[in-house]
Structure formats: structure tokens, C-alpha cells
Amino acid sequence: MSENTTIVENATCTFCGCVCDDMELTVDLDEKRITKARNACVLGRAWFLEHRHQERPAALIDGREVSVEEAIEEAAQTLVKARFPIIYGLSDTTCEAQRQAVALADFLDGNIDTTTSVCHGPSGIAFQGVGESTATLGEVKNRADLLIYWGGNPAEAHPRHFTRYAVTPKGMFVPNGKKDRTVVLVDVRATPSTPVADIFIKVRPGRDFEVLWALRALVRGKPVDPGIEEVTGVPLATLEDLVERMKNCNFGVLFFGMGLTMTRGRHFNSGALLSLATDLNEFTHFVAKPVRGHGNVTGADNVVSWQTGYPFGVNFNRGYPRFNPGEFTTVDVLARGEADAACIISSDPASNFPRAAIEHLKRIPVITFDPKPTVTSELAHVAFTTATYGINVTGTAYRMDDVPIMLRPAFESPYPSDEELLRAITDRVRELRNG
Amino acid sequence: MLIKLANGTLYDPANGIDGEVRDLYIRDGRIAEPAGDEKVDQEYDLTGKVVMAGAIDLHTHIGGGKVTIARTLLPEDHRGDPMPRSELRRSSCGHVAPGTYYTGYRYAEMGYTAGFEPAVLPANARAAHMEMADIPMIDKGGYAMLGSDDFLLRMMAAGDDQEAINDYVAWTLQATQCIGIKVVNPGGISAFKFNQRSLDLDEEGPHYGQTPREILRRLARAVHELGVTHPLHVHGCNLGVPGNVDTTLRTIAGMEGLPVHLTHIQFHSYGTEGDYGFSSGAAQIAEAVNANPNVSVDVGQILFGQTVTASGDTMQQFANHSHANPSKWVCMDIECDAGCGVVPFRYKDQSFVNALQWAIGLEIFLLVDDPWRVFLTTDHPNGAPFMTYPHLIRLLMDRSFRNDLLATIHPQAQAMTTLASIDREYSLYEIAIMTRAGPARTLGLADYGHLGPGARADITVYTDQPDREAMFERPDYVFKSGELVVRNGEVVKVVWGTTHVTRPEYDRAIEKRLARYFDQYLTMRLDNFTMSDEEITEDGRGSITVHPTQGGSRQ
Ligand code: SF4
Ligand SMILES: [Zn+2]
């Protein structure tokens, strides 16, 4: 470690949707790395400390090193030639870059979609169906005395969720922290999050909807057949007890994760849970909140919505935005073999999409933006190495509860940001199309 | 470059010009007085045209979390109103919760050159400004929302003096990059989090024991003593509740002469008479406004059709959720600041209540004598989307048009309104006051809203037509800072407006106290909460314009 170090206070971790903004980073300016990340959890520490400056070409065309300018030109030409270009990813970049990505999709008459479509897309669809009663994490921290987790495992996915935002912290109206709160965990199996819970309710896989619907009925004073236990694995008495707790708390929260949204029932599950929280407001104050994964996926939903009116899966083929999940969501557009060029921004679909989608990705020119090599960048026609948001790049990220937070970079990167690249490509695309 | 607008008929109330034919000159983005021999580079013949300053909407929900919640909630609403991309313009979507690009283009195409977001939650100020940064064409600004935030209520409960509250209010303006302070259902949004479902003016709120009356007084005093030009912007107690006319009258009396702006007053002017227990309190409200020169209002007119209500008032939005149409709604508590509620709504002319609401709004417009103290709003999108303004202007300017429509609404509502007996028709001069000169004056935008030498050359040119709706729908020209940006009602150049803010002095000691509070209770660091100028200016489109307070200001 060199002598040349600096401390960045109040830096923001963008690794998961908690977007903790209380990092104290010790930065070795000579070696260009972060040597200490105070307040970070294990995931956050890895995110900061493993970020090493690596000598990599700033841009590659078909694996050959080129200048950034050449790559921008090639990217623009490729996209302009395409009849159905798509843009995908965006959850691990700044809102400023997301904004630019929507502009690019718009000027290309292309398609834009984010990782929301493969994680909490069903929650978004449910939201459009039934609305929601919700709250930010600061309200949960200070007011919530009943916390119910459904189909999520924050202990592993969002390690500081329990300690910084929800369970243990002392709040204005829950001054004794965990002692003043009841924690319920609902899942199909015990997870590392289970020990936090006062009550663990084990649901038979694929039966969340039935449990939620029974709870709604009980909340409304409707009878529920004791046979519910056979179907769901949860005794009626357990449900009745939970309903009493829900109706009698001061401020209740239903947090839910992909165990609910991505299993049988999907947006029906999310819709049932949102409706349950809404119904409970006839008795007390009750809110629901999806526990979102990636750093700035919530920002992506916001930016795409305020520009186009729709949160994800947006298509501009007709020159104006259209929204239709299942039609314009990336997995579907690829699996049907429709896209003929793809811009992948800070995401690695080639490692996690269904096979048919990946096969098509291999057939078309792909342009990637990523700080590190990925499976997708390996198959890219044009691959940009980018500066990392929150570590090298300033800007804005939205926490999972729609609260926007600014980013304080630790040191400069030799590589351009997603925003700069996307802006340059957009400008060039406009020249090519208008000129 | 000198531009001459020749022979137009000017309506410029700030300078007392009422329909005089004059030439106007523009140089370097401002209205100029050229030397006698100066060469004119470009000339527009405006013979027979009406010339006004660019219009200013002082209360329109165009940015911040709740607007995007409304956008996201209503995909079905956008589908009927797509806005295609052009070589010049981005694509976007209307209608009741339009996208940011649509918002900017449509406002400009209607001759508006500035819009102010009235409900910036401090914790979401960054979101509000990011969204407004994506609104092209017009200038922007915001009012920071206080009055249900735990910090203020704790201060009041602890007996803090007015000085300390002033510091907190000034700090809030600075941290949120806003130009005014708004209070929404004072104390009520906090009470809602304690599961209370109503809070009257003199009722002590839960936990802190503060009354809305006292919250209003403390905040109005703070705004006044800090020298902020725009008075406290008040969305009062009991919005939408029959009988709230009484609350509103008591609120006015309770201000004890302090300057105050009562927003969307139509929603606060309801009596309880008649078979439906719902009647117009417009005459009493107008009388009180006329009698109290410290009070200004905007109307929040409702117009029939689909819209969406988006408000910080979780308590009243929750109370109205059973009227949601389509049947879905959102309530959200936000970071110990306040909250928001979004409820889609369809106003029907054959509903007694909606029809009477429509009449009440118009009665207020027509019964308030001084156009400098009543502003033209629909509380976009709460009463109707802003695209309806030309229709509303026609209702005010054209009595027979108004009476024809009146004859078609719910018959009992017709019987319960005095509208038919009101002869008043607004003049172009008065419209120019309520949409230009008045808003600029109340906001402290000294070089906006008028056409005198040195003013920003934000200018709208209309063709004088008897159909005022058609006239205001489609200006011939709109100039923004001297550039021609709209021709024949269509955007011909895309520009980016500035963000108007004000920054009263305050004692920095309050920041230490806030830092302790943030560290103990909130989930964000104080340093990250505060918005820097760069966040607005860095992408090359935005800029900040600081307006002085009355009594010195930090730049
Ligand atoms: S909880 Fe998430 S945001 Fe917070 S430090 Fe850990 S990884 Fe980073
Ligand atoms: Zn409003």
C-alpha cells in the first residue's frame, strides 16, 4: 500500500438495492484501489475491494483492440443498419446513463428493456393492476412494529437490510429496535434469514397465492375452510394468528422477493400481496414493498417511466413508445428471433437468459458496455470497457424504495462512463439518420 | 442580433399596457430598447396579433415521485395519446400523467414558458429535479413541502423559537433547490402514519400535539421573515370534505395578516346545504379573499373527463380511494418527510357533486375581484390535465359559452349554483395578469411575466379570434429567451429552461443539529440529502437562476 491515500466519506454502495450511502472508503490513489470500506457488508466489501484497475483495451471490435472513437462509429453504424435494435440491462449504471439509453432507443425506433423484466416485472404488472400502499425504508425503520418477509432472503441478498433499515435499528417510534418489532418470515424453506424471524411460516412450493388469498378473506372476516392446510401446508390457526397480528399492529410492512414474484402465479402473487396490504388499511396502517435486487434497477424503472410512460419492455418501432410485457421484453424479443442488433449495458444476459434467447444473441451483432469481461462481452461485436458507477463515476442511483441517492466516486477510471459512450453513440446515430 | 416584433397588440399588465399596438425588440434573449439607428436583423409582422409574455403555471405537478407513480400506474391512459418522435423531438406519451418530454413540448405549444412543481418532498427533491431536467422548453422550479415532517414537528413540540424554525426552512430551500415552501394538510400526513384519518384546524395531532393552525402560522412566519417572495403555499386541511368552507375561512382568519397563498381553493370551498349535503361556498371564499389583501389563491378548476389525482395529502387521498376510477390507487409514506397519494379519477358532468365542483371553481374565478390574486390552474392533473387550459380560458372569457355548458350539467347542480347570474367575462388583460404578470410577481421573478425593457424575451403571439379556446390552443409564435421555439402551435426548436430558486440566509448551526438527527433516525446521510448545483447543471442542459429574497440573499 502506498502513502498516497485518501478517505471518501459518505460514499454510496451500489452493489445491491439497499444503496447504503454511509461508506467510508480508504483509497490508495497510486494503486487505484480501495483498501478499506468501512460500514460495508460482505457483499459491499467485495464490491469495493475487488475493484482493481486492470489493463484492458478500452474497446474491441470482434476481439481486436480499437480506439474508443472507432468503436463508437462502428456501434452507431451497426445500430443504424439494424431494423430492430434492442437495448437491455441498465440496472447497474447511473440514472444519467439510463436517461441517455432511452434517448438512443428512441432515436433508433428500437426497443428498451431493463433487468426488471426478469426480476420484479410481475410486481410492476401487479402494481398497474391494483396499485399499492407503500412506504420508504426510513418510515419502516422509524415506525414499523410488524415486518413480514415473503419469498425473500435479505440476509444473503441484502445483508444490511435487517440491520440498517428494518429489523434491528432503533427508530423514533420503535425506540427499542428489534424488541419493539415482530418479524414474520414466509417461505418454502428455511433460509439464512429465518433465524431473524419470531415466526416462520413454511408454505408448500407454488402455493403462495392460496395463502395470500386466504389471508385476504380472513382480514375481511370471510370464513376459510380448514382444508387450506392440506393445500398450502399452513394450518388455518397460523393464518388466523397472523391476521390478528396484522390487524392489531401500529404500522405493518409486507416485504416480498423473487420467491414470490418468479414462482407459480407470478403477477397474481404480487397482486394478491399488494391487495392484502391495501385491505389492511381499513384496520391499521399497512404497507408493502418489493425488495429489489441490483443496485439501480429502481432508477431504471423510474427513468424509463418518466420519459416514456412505461416502466420496462418499451418499444419505439412505430416512432412512439408502446408497452407490452411478453411482447417487448427482451427474453421474448430474442427468443422469437426478432432483434437484429443488441446493446447490452452493464448486464450479462448471455450467462442467465433462457437458451433460445442466448442462441439468438449469438447470431446478431452485440454491443456491450461493462467494466469487466462477461460472457456477453465475449460474444460481442463491439465491446466497451467502462468506468464503474459509484466507484469511478458520479451520478444518481435509486434505492429499492424509490429514494434517489448521489454517488461519490473514489478515483478516476481511464475508461469512459456508460453515459459518455451512450451520448456519443446517440449523437452519431442522429447524424447518420438525419444527415 | 436584433429582432423586431412589429405592430402587435400588447397586453402587458405589469407595465400597465392594455391592448396597445406597439413594436417590441429582442436582443440577447431580452426585451431591448434599440438605439435609433440600430439595424434590425429580423422582423415579424404582428399586425392584428395579440402579444403577451410567456405564460407561467405556478402550480402544476410535473416532477417528483408521485408524478412518475401516476405515469407508471396508468399505461392504459397513455395508449390513446402517443406523441411520435421527429427529427427534432423525442417521442413521448400523454395524457393525464404525460411523460416529461410531452409535458415540455405541449406547454410550449400552448404559449407557456415556465411551470412550477408545487410538491417537492425534500427527500425526493433529487427525483423532482431529475424529472424536470427531462422537461424541455420551459423554465422550472419547485416548492419544498414541510409541515408533516418529523423534524419540524419535533422542533415545535420541543418549543423551539421562530428563529430556529426559520433556519430550518431556509436550509430546506437551499438543500432542495426550491423557490418556495408548500404545506400540505399541515400535520395531517404525519397523523395518517399514526393511523388517524382526519385532522381539523384546531385539533392536536398525534404524538407531537401540534395543531394545523400553529404549523401554518409558524411556517408562514418563517417564509415571511426570511424574505422569500412567494408566500407560504398552502394546501389546507380537510381537502374535498363537505363543509370545509368553514375550515378555509378559519384558516384565512388564523393567518392574522401574514401573506399566504391558498392553492386549489376550489377543493376547499364546500358547504353542506341542500338535499345532497354538498353546496357551494364560493361566495364566502371570494368575499374573504377580496377582504384580505394578504391572501392569494389559485383555483384548481375541475373539468369533465378522465384524470388522475396526485397529491402529498395521503390522508385525503386514502379517504377518496373508493372513488378511484379505474379502481386502483397508491399511498406512500416517504422518509419521515411526508407522503403521496395517487388516485385516478373521472369527473362526470352528470354527477351532482362533480358538476357542482365545476361550477364552484368558476364561481370563485368570477367572484374574486382582483386578478392579481387569483391564478389560473387546474392543479394539473388533479382537476384536469394542463392541456385543458385554453378551454378553461374560454369558459372565463365567454359567458354564453359558459352558460351553454352550464345548461348541460346535472340539473340539481345547476339549481345549486349562481353561475348563470354572473355576467363577468375576463378580458385579455385580466387573462394576462392571472397567467403571466401575477404568477411572476408572486414568485419574485422580476424579469419574467412582462414585456418591459430588460425582461427575459419569453413571448407568446396569438391570433385574436372570438373562439378563445382556439386562440389559446395554438399560438402563432412562442419565443423562449428570444429564440423562436414554436411556430403555428408546433415546436420548431428544442431548448432547455432554467431552474428558479431562492436562497435566504440562515445560521449554519442548524446543520449540526440536522446531522445528528439524520445519523440517528434517517437512512440517508445529510451530505447526500443536500442537492448540489452541479446535479442540475452538469449534463449541459440545465441551469440555475437564483432570485433574491427581500432583504439580502446568498448567491
Ligand atoms: S447491503 Fe447492499 S448496498 Fe449495503 S453495503 Fe451491503 S451490498 Fe452494499
Ligand atoms: Zn397540487
State whether A308 and B91 contact (CB < 8 Å). Answer: yes
Q: pLDDT tens digit string along B62-107?
A: 998 899 999 999 999 999 999 999 999 999 999 999 999 999 999 9
Kindly provide the b/e burial profile for residues A271-286, where b requires at least 16 CB atoms within 10 angstroms of the residue's own CB: bbbbbbbbbbbeeebb
To the nearest whole Å, the CA of B438 is away from the closest chain A CA by 30
Ligand (nearest to CA of B233): 2
**Residue after which a domain boundary falls, among A290, A317, A350:** A290
pLDDT in tens, B39-63: 999 999 999 999 999 999 999 999 9
CATH topology for B53-441+450-491? TIM Barrel (3.20.20)
Q: Which residue from A10, A41, A42, A292 has its CB within 8 A of the most atoms of ligand 1, so it is best to mutate?
A: A41
Question: Quick count: other Cβ atoms within 10 Å of Cβ A86?
Answer: 27
Residue B182 · residue B235 · CB < 8 Å: yes
Regarding whether A349 and A428 lie in a shared domain, the answer is yes
Q: What angle do CA B32, B34, B36 make, to 5 degrees?
A: 165
Average pLDDT over residues A366-384: 97
Of B71, B85, B195, the CB nearest to A319: B85
**CB-neighbour burial class of residue A75 (10 A; exposed 0-12, middle 13-18, buried 19+):** buried
Task: Pick the residue from chain B with its C-alpha nearest to A95.
Answer: B130
What would the pLDDT profile of A148-198 be if each residue is shown by its tens digit?
999 999 999 999 999 999 999 999 999 999 999 999 999 999 999 999 999
- What are phi and psi for residue A322, nearest 5 degrees? -130, 150
Say yes or no to pLDDT of A120 above 90: no
pLDDT > 80? residue A1: no
pLDDT at residue B554, rounded to an integer: 42
Residue A249: pLDDT band by 50, 70, 90 thresholds?
very high
| B-chain residue closest to A395, CA distance | B535
The beta-carbon neighbor of B333 closest among A135, A284, A321 is A135
**Is there a domain that residue A427 lies in?**
yes
Cβ of B335 under 8 Å from any chain A Cβ? yes
Domain assignment present for A54: no
Q: How far apart are CA B377 and CA B370, in angstroms?
A: 16
- Measured distance between the N- and C-terminal CA atoms of chain B, rounded to whole angstroms: 30
What is the number of other CB atoms lying within 10 angstroms of the CB of residue A428?
Answer: 18
Amino acid at B17: I
Model confidence at B555, in pLDDT bands (50, 70, 90)? very low
Determine whether the interchain pair A135/B101 forms a contact, defined as Cβ–Cβ distance below 8 Å: no
CB A291 within 8 A of CB A257: yes
The ranges assigned to domains in chain B are 53-441+450-491
Q: Structural domain of residue A140, as residue ranges?
A: 121-290
Whether residue A199 is contained in a domain is answered as yes
Look at residues A18, A21, A45 and name the one whose alpha carbon lies nearest to residue A405.
Answer: A21
Nearest CA to ligand 1 atom 8: A44
Residue B406 has pLDDT above 80, yes or no: yes
pLDDT category of residue B434 using cuts at 50, 70 and 90:
very high
Q: Measured between beta carbons, which residues in chain A are less than 8 angstroms from residue B126?
A: 396, 404-406
Contacts of residue B253, Cβ cutoff 8 Å, sequence gap at least 6: none
Q: Note the pLDDT of residue B553.
A: 41
Q: How far is CA B546 from the centre of its chain?
A: 19
How far is A94 from A92, CA to CA, in rounded Å?
A: 7
- Among partner residues A106, A316, A402, which is closest to B65 by beta-carbon distance? A402
Q: How far is the CA of A71 from the centre of ligand 1 (A)?
A: 34
- Gap from CA of A326 to ligand 2 centroid (Å): 36
Q: A40 CB under 6 A from ligand 1? A: yes
- Strands B374-375, B295-298: pairing is parallel
Q: What mean pLDDT comes out for the span B414-432?
A: 98
Q: Do A265 and A407 lie in a common domain?
A: no
Residue A320 domain flag: yes
With an 8 Å Cβ cutoff, is A129 touching chain B? yes
The beta strands (E) that lie in B444-554 are given as 459-463, 477-480, 483-487, 490-491, 499-502, 544-547
- In this predicted model, what pLDDT tens digit does every residue of B353-380 receive, in sequence order? 999 999 999 999 999 999 999 999 999 9
Q: Which of residues 83-102 of A touch B (CB under 8 A)?
A: 95-96, 99
User: What are phi and psi for residue B439, nearest 5 degrees?
Assistant: -60, -40
Mean pLDDT, chain B, rounded, equals: 97
CB contact under 8 Å between B334 and A109, yes or no, is no
Q: Do B127 and A302 touch (CB under 8 A)?
A: yes
A404-426: per-residue pLDDT in tens?
999 999 999 999 999 999 999 99
> What is the enclosing helix (H) or strand (E) of A398?
strand A395-398
Q: Do A229 and A145 fall into the same domain?
A: yes
**Across the interface, which of A10, A305, A402 has its CB nearest the CB of B71?**
A305
- Cβ atoms of B473 and B109 within 8 Å: the answer is no
| pTM more than 0.90 | yes
Kindly state the average pLDDT of the residues A354-372. 97
Decide if B269 touches A, using CB distance below 8 A: no
Q: How far does A194 lie from chain B, in Å, by closest CA?
A: 24
The answer to whether residues B299 and B364 touch, using CB atoms and an 8 Å cutoff, is yes
Strand, helix or coil for residue A290: strand
Query: B308 — contact with chain A (CB < 8 Å)?
Result: no
Please tell me the number of the ligand nearest to residue A24's CA: 1
Q: Using the structure block, give the residue that is written with the C-alpha cell 385580466.
A: B430
- pLDDT, one tens digit per residue, over A47-79 is 999 998 778 999 999 999 999 999 999 999 999
Q: Which residues numbered 59-88 in B keep a CB inside 8 Å of some CB on A?
A: 63, 65, 67-68, 71-75, 78-79, 82-85, 87
Residues 6+ apart with CB under 8 A from B266: B299, B300, B301, B302, B357, B360, B361, B364, B383
A301 and B72: CB-CB below 8 Å?
yes
pLDDT at A295 over 90: no
Q: Which residues of A166-180 are buried (b: 16+ CB within 10 A; e: fewer)?
A: bbebebbbbeeebee
> Is there an atom of ligand 1 within 6 Å of A41 CB?
yes
Question: How is residue B346 written as a grid cell?
Answer: 373521472
At B522, the amino acid letter reads L
Contact A305 B528 (CB under 8 A): no
> Is A138 in CB contact (< 8 Å) with chain B?
yes
Average pLDDT, chain A: 96
Closest atom of ligand 1 to A41 CA is: 6
Our count of domains for chain A comes to 3
Q: Are residues A274 and A145 in the same domain?
A: yes
- Residues of chain B numbered 89-118 and touching chain A (CB < 8 Å): 90-93, 97-101
Identify the nearest ligand to the CA of B378 by its number. 2
A positions 294-323 inside 8 Å of B (CB): 301-303, 305-311, 316, 318-323
B524–A12 CB contact, under 8 Å: no
